[in-house]
Structure 1
Amino acid sequence: MPAKRVIPCLDVKLGRVVKGVQFKDLRDLGHPVDLARRYDLEGADELVFLDISASLENRGTREAWVREVARELSIPFTVGGGVSCVDDAKRLLRAGADKVAVNTAAAQRPALVTELADAFGRQCVVAAVDVKRDADLGWRVYLKGGTEPTERAALDWLWELNELGAGEILLTSMDRDGTGAGFDIQLLERASELPIPLIASGGAGLEIHFLEALEHGADAVLAATLFHEGILPIPRLKAYLAHNGILVRT
């Protein structure tokens, strides 16, 4: 059985790491290079870097930011934000990314996922999906940094992404994002039926929340504020998970 992964996420806007609650009221939490260096030393399994305003501004992720962060890392590095074609992904990979994350552009043109998988291998393609609970759809997919609702049911879209060639899913509950109330366990249980790895995102506030997510189908757990502000250091979280029977990398 593969070890479970602990992944910090850098949401980057105007060159700074930011975080809010339910994608709103963003606060400045530091410089991405400084945080990347720290996480590499602390034992993070991977790092995710999301240029959160790229899609809204109709541009690609700024390669200079990616290059600066990649220099600090010895761990796998996923980069997303504004990737809309194979050439966009190629530039990010050349700048130091190991994987590329796609969200809005993939929903607007699903063939993009297949094109990326064909060009770079399925393992290189991370499908990022932002969702909210919905009375009609169960969970509704949102685009453009959570600002634009779609008519897509999240679980249907996850299965389509798998068929298109995504290598893993980064699934964010917008309802839980930044609240510290815990991951959406019901969502994770349903999404874990997929045959590809699932990264749980949105809601971590306590050590037990990570444990619950991993026990209910997640292959990896992602968080931001808890790690950025030093509330829960990664070594402490990994020790807690190991003590509770979760196989983690040390």
Structure 2
Amino acid sequence: MLRTRIIPCLQLLDQNLVKTIQFKRPSYIGDFANTARIFNELEVDELCLLGIRNTRNKTTPDFKVLKQVANECFMPLSYGGGIQDFETAKRILAMGFEKVVLNSASFRNPQLITKISEYFGSQSLIVSIDVKKGLFGRERVYSCSGTRTERYSALEWAKSVEEKGAGEILLTSINQEGTWEGFDIGLVSRIANAVNIPVIAHGGAGSIKDISAAVKDAKASAVALGSMVVYQKKGMGVLVNFPDRTELKKYLSNE
């Protein structure tokens, strides 16, 4: 059995599953319930669902959708998007989700990290950190679906959320997201080696070799996959799938 968690990460927009490229141009993937059902049948390690425009559009999570997913799936579930207060997080966890994911709210209301962690345990909380390289390769952290620049570096913010009680970090490279060109190994490595909580690498996976690089070279504790699990291959049509477990074991056996 693999020690590394391989987590399908699905994007939800207006009750539809979509896939973006560098946080832009969302393309329709399919029905959320059917897709969740397929991953349930594939017995994936964990499933992450992100409402990608909730905070930006000032909308709350779609609780009807979340309830359907929670009723359909038996693997551990996490959800992020539009969670701005403790009561919303509490409601989602009460539905059967094991974890909530905070991004924008962690900047506007950082004490929410501590409150959720102290009440439910740090294992129930993932803080999502979205990072983008600008001119001259300068990295900045973004919120609100990659539209708002924050004043922290990725390293500063990762250490800060760990101190506040985050149980895990979902680390996304905006530049790499949806490109199939591999993870930002340097970014993942810097953060994974600077904190003592699990770092989930996300953004850019195009092959099992990319997964291996994130785990073996960059020391990620887990990997979140988007394009690889909803498309046949780069440039080809939609196909909900999961990497071949024999191949995964081959590349990750010495982790």
Secondary structure, aligned partner of 1:145: coil
Describe the superposition over 1:52-104 as per-residue Cα deviations: whole angstroms up to 9, x where unpaired.
11101223211111001111111100011111111010111122211000000
2:230 and 2:155 mapped to 1: Cα distance?
Answer: 30
Counterpart of 2:242 in structure 1 is 234
Q: Which 10-residue stretch deviates more, 68-77 or 223-232?
A: 223-232
Question: Identity over aligned residues, as a percent?
Answer: 34
TM-score norm. by structure 1 comes to: 0.93
Task: Name structure 1 gaps, 5 residues minimum.
Answer: none
Counterpart of 2:173 in structure 1 is 173
Q: CA deviation at 1:136?
A: 8.0
TM-score norm. by structure 2 comes to: 0.92
Alignment of 1:195-214 (within 5 A): 195-214=196-215
Q: How many residues align?
A: 247
Equivalent residue letter for 2:242: I
Secondary structure, aligned partner of 1:234: coil
Secondary structure, aligned partner of 2:11: strand
Q: CA deviation at 1:199?
A: 0.5
Equivalent residue letter for 1:62: D
Tell whether the 8 Å contact from 2:113 to 2:164 is kept in structure 1 after alignment: yes
Secondary structure, aligned partner of 1:151: coil
Task: Name structure 2 gaps, 5 residues minimum.
Answer: 234-239
Query: Taking structure 1 as reference, are residues 136 and 161 closer, same or farther at Cα in structure 2, changes over 3 Å only?
Result: farther
Counterpart of 2:107 in structure 1 is 107
Tell whether the 8 Å contact from 1:3 to 1:247 is kept in structure 2 after alignment: no
Q: CA deviation at 1:18?
A: 0.6
1:96 and 1:19 mapped to 2: Cα distance?
Answer: 25
Tell whether the 8 Å contact from 2:209 to 2:251 is kept in structure 1 after alignment: no
Alignment of 1:150-169 (within 5 A): 150-169=150-169
Counterpart of 1:46 in structure 2 is 46
Q: CA deviation at 1:209?
A: 0.6
What RMSD over aligned residues (CA atoms) do the two structures have, in Å? Answer: 1.9
1:133 and 1:27 mapped to 2: Cα distance?
Answer: 24
Query: Is 1:144 matched up with 2:147?
Result: no
Counterpart of 2:66 in structure 1 is 66
Moved over 3 A (4+): 134-138, 230-233, 245-248
Query: Taking structure 1 as reference, are residues 189 and 80 closer, same or farther at Cα in structure 2, changes over 3 Å only?
Result: same
Counterpart of 1:15 in structure 2 is 15
